[in-house]
Amino acid sequence: MKMFEPIVEIEEKETQLMQLVSELSAANKKLFYKTQLGAIKDPDTYASLNWFFLGGFHHIYLGKYVLFIIEFMLLMTSIAGWLLGFDQALFILLALVLYELPQLFFSQKIVRQYNYQVSKDIYQKFKK
């Protein structure tokens, strides 16, 4: 996903996809929307989870389990290192903050891109 993709481009892609979906048969269209409803994610929930940005819990919401585990382990390692007196552990914590800040500020766009990709994948199944 391109974090810095203009919102206009995302909206255009969503519009094009919805036009393609409107061309499906009535039964497939109904099934598409039913499947989509269960698969898309709420941008506000993702944004709320992102406020706990150092834990990486928002990655779980989008199914990025490996990324969550890596980020959570780095967080725990940096906290443990800092508590044990290793000042270098603060650099890991700072790096995590710098990594998570763009995701915090672009959370709405990230979820819209995710939802578009999920919808596109669902459409590909019904197109056949």
Kindly report, residue by residue over 26-59, the tens digit of the pLDDT. Answer: 999 999 999 999 999 998 899 888 887 667 889 9
pLDDT for position 1 = 63
Sequence-distant (≥ 6) Cβ neighbours of residue 38 within 8 angstroms: none
Q: Tell me the pTM.
A: 0.86
Which of 36, 63, 43 is CA-nearest to residue 123?
36
